[in-house]
Amino acid sequence: MAFKPANNIQDLQYFGEFGGVNPSISDSSTYTFLSAKTMFDTFEGNADGCYLYSRHSSPSNLYLGEALAAMEGTETANVTASGMGAITPVIMQLCGAGDHIVSSRTIYGGTYAFLKNFTPRFNIETSFVDITKLDVVEATITKNTKVLYCESVSNPLLEVADIKGLSELAKKHNLKLVVDNTFSPLSISPVQLGADVVIHSLTKFINGSSDTVGGVVCGTQEFINDLRNVNDGACMLLGSTMDSLRAASVLKNLRTLHIRMQQHSKNGMYLAKKFESLGLKTVYPGLESHPSHQLFKSMMNPQYGFGGMLTIDVGSLDKANALMELMQEKNLGYLAVSLGFYKTLFSAPGSSTSSEIPEDEQAEMGLSDGLIRFSIGLDADIERTFEMMKACMVELSILDDKKQAELI
Ligand SMILES: *Cc1c(COP(=O)(O)O)cnc(C)c1O
């Protein structure tokens, strides 16, 4: 039987100490032991089910981790204080001095900056490639390569990684395939397609209420144990631990993720089609015109759709800024970075979230000045939203002359 994500979340059952329908929150940094011997065994990693200290693990974090592992179909997971707090320990756990990483060149700005500017201090080098070209990826692998790194749907250009193809390369060359699935929770299940480790920034769709940062690493029990090891585990030693109160809060939001993703995807698809019909250069994996539309279709869990992220190119940064300001004034969304909120969020990546990437490299990867990235909200009346957005575009003469004349 095919693996069905989210169904496993619905089947999870944890009660609170007093039979509450939500698990009790573990509001403790440290834990008592009935015997000194058990404390020693726990330090050695030999006492299952015993808690030691909350930077290592806590009941609330384990509940959230298990729910996310159920979503991704991995053995287990470890939640972290932020998405970057998941990405950086995974890289540092898998790589040491002299090692090499092959990474997609279109990735989250913070991840790019970490790999480009920070890890070289530890003599870890990264080659950035066009991840959609498997032959280029393979040609870039060296005898020192340890990790293939990509986002299933990339930020901000919405390129789609061929996870099956990449996992075959990873197996052939004995590498770990690490996939950041932040843009496509539920829609794509990277481990089912052969990835070794899946990361999310919980800050985005999964928590969905823009009230916290958070992250998760989903993988095998062995890898997650390694990350938590008191002697050499990167999560344990770098200390990017999520707080228990927050873990309990994210878990409650996670339960509605499947419904929210369906609405984000429905609204995203509607607006993408409409924007394209206005003659705007629109990128959305659900459009036939997307270069990887078929690939996305071949990988997706269809009931969750093509996601809530889309981009349009309005020609120049000035026009992009004017449009975003006007849309905000009309209460169509917020001029803000991040994604996955109930309100639509828009930003110009070239001057914001991807500003870590030098301008010449931005140009080379097709990241133009007039690009606006939208995280489409949960609007109940998306038809009205579109009509109002169209009116903003007409007011600012964003559309080509012929369309403009037609619409006035
Ligand atoms: C936001 C984001 C991150 C970083 O997550 P934080 O929670 O902000 O640390 C990583 N990857 C992607 C794709 C993101 O969108």
pLDDT digits (tens, 9 = 90+) for 288-319: 999 999 999 999 999 999 999 999 999 999 99
Residue 330: strand, helix, or coil: coil
**259-273 average pLDDT score:** 98
Residue 144: strand, helix, or coil: coil
Q: Rounded to the nearest 10 degrees, how much is the dihedral formed by the CA atoms of 132, 143, 87, 121?
A: -120
CA gap 64, 216 in Å, rounded = 9
Q: Rounded to the nearest 10 degrees, how much is the dihedral formed by the CA atoms of 130, 132, 136, 141?
A: 90
pLDDT for 224 beyond 70: yes
pLDDT for 407 beyond 60: yes
Query: Does ligand 1 come within 6 angstroms of the Cβ of 66?
Result: no
Whose CA is closest to 350, among 336, 366, 335, 328? Answer: 366
Query: Does ligand 1 come within 6 angstroms of the Cβ of 182?
Result: yes
Q: How far is the CA of 388 from the centre of ligand 1 (A)?
A: 30
Residue nearest to atom 4 of ligand 1 (CA): 83
Query: Does ligand 1 come within 6 angstroms of the Cβ of 82?
Result: yes
pLDDT of res. 397: 94
CATH superfamily label, 258-407: Aspartate Aminotransferase, domain 1 (3.90.1150.10)
Ligand 1, residues 88, 201, 205, 345: which to mutate, most atoms within 8 A of Cβ? Answer: 201
**347-372 average pLDDT score:** 82
CB 72 within 8 A of CB 198: yes
Ligand 1 atom with the shortest distance to the CA of 182: 13
Residue nearest to atom 1 of ligand 1 (CA): 201
Query: Does ligand 1 come within 6 angstroms of the Cβ of 194?
Result: no
CA gap 392, 327 in Å, rounded = 7
What does the block give as tokens for 406? 């037609």
Banded model confidence at residue 381, pLDDT cuts 50, 70, 90: very high
In sequence order, the β-bridge partners of residue 313 are: 281, 371
Banded model confidence at residue 6, pLDDT cuts 50, 70, 90: low
Angle between helices 382-395 and 257-277 (to 10 degrees): 40
CB 388 within 8 A of CB 379: no
Q: How far is the CA of 193 from the centre of ligand 1 (A)?
A: 22
Q: How far is the CA of 108 from the centre of ligand 1 (A)?
A: 7
Nearest-Å Rg of the Cα atoms of the chain is: 22
pLDDT of res. 349: 86
Whose CA is closest to 159, among 113, 106, 111? Answer: 106
Query: Does ligand 1 come within 6 angstroms of the Cβ of 45?
Result: no
Ligand 1 atom with the shortest distance to the CA of 151: 13
- Alpha helices (H) in 31-108, listed in sequence order: 36-43, 59-72, 84-94
pLDDT of res. 11: 81
Q: How far is the CA of 215 from the centre of ligand 1 (A)?
A: 8
pLDDT of res. 87: 98
Q: How far is the CA of 86 from the centre of ligand 1 (A)?
A: 9
Q: Rounded to the nearest 10 degrees, how much is the dihedral formed by the CA atoms of 313, 318, 365, 299?
A: -40
CA gap 273, 286 in Å, rounded = 9
CA gap 381, 344 in Å, rounded = 13
Q: What is the pLDDT of residues 115-136, one digit of tens each?
A: 999 999 999 999 999 999 999 9
Ligand 1, residues 90, 106, 108: which to mutate, most atoms within 8 A of Cβ? Answer: 108
pLDDT of res. 47: 62
pLDDT of res. 48: 67
Banded model confidence at residue 5, pLDDT cuts 50, 70, 90: low
Domain with CATH 3.40.640.10 in the chain: 5-254
Residue nearest to atom 11 of ligand 1 (CA): 108
Could you confirm whether domain 5-254 is CATH 3.40.50.280? no
pLDDT for 159 beyond 60: yes
Query: Does ligand 1 come within 6 angstroms of the Cβ of 110?
Result: yes
Banded model confidence at residue 1, pLDDT cuts 50, 70, 90: very low
Residue with the two structure tokens 């003469």: 397
* 123 torsion bin: left (phi>0), alpha (psi -120 to 50), beta (else): left
**384-390 average pLDDT score:** 98
CB 370 within 8 A of CB 315: yes
Residue nearest to atom 8 of ligand 1 (CA): 83
pLDDT for 269 beyond 70: yes
Domain with CATH 3.90.1150.10 in the chain: 258-407
Q: What is the pLDDT of residues 44-92, one digit of tens each?
A: 766 666 788 999 999 999 999 999 999 999 999 999 999 999 999 999 9
Banded model confidence at residue 201, pLDDT cuts 50, 70, 90: very high
CA gap 38, 44 in Å, rounded = 10
Ligand 1, residues 106, 158, 204: which to mutate, most atoms within 8 A of Cβ? Answer: 204
CA gap 34, 290 in Å, rounded = 60
Q: How far is the CA of 109 from the centre of ligand 1 (A)?
A: 9
Query: Does ligand 1 come within 6 angstroms of the Cβ of 156?
Result: no
Percent of the chain whose predicted confidence (pLDDT) is above 90: 83
CA gap 128, 102 in Å, rounded = 6
Instruction: Give pTM, 2 decimals.
Output: 0.95
- Return all residues near 200 (Cβ < 8 A) that are at least 6 apart: 68, 83, 86, 180, 181, 182, 185, 206, 215, 216, 218
Residue burial 212-246, b: 16+ Cβ < 10 Å; e: rest: bbbbbbbbeeebbebbbbeeebbbbbbebbbbbeb
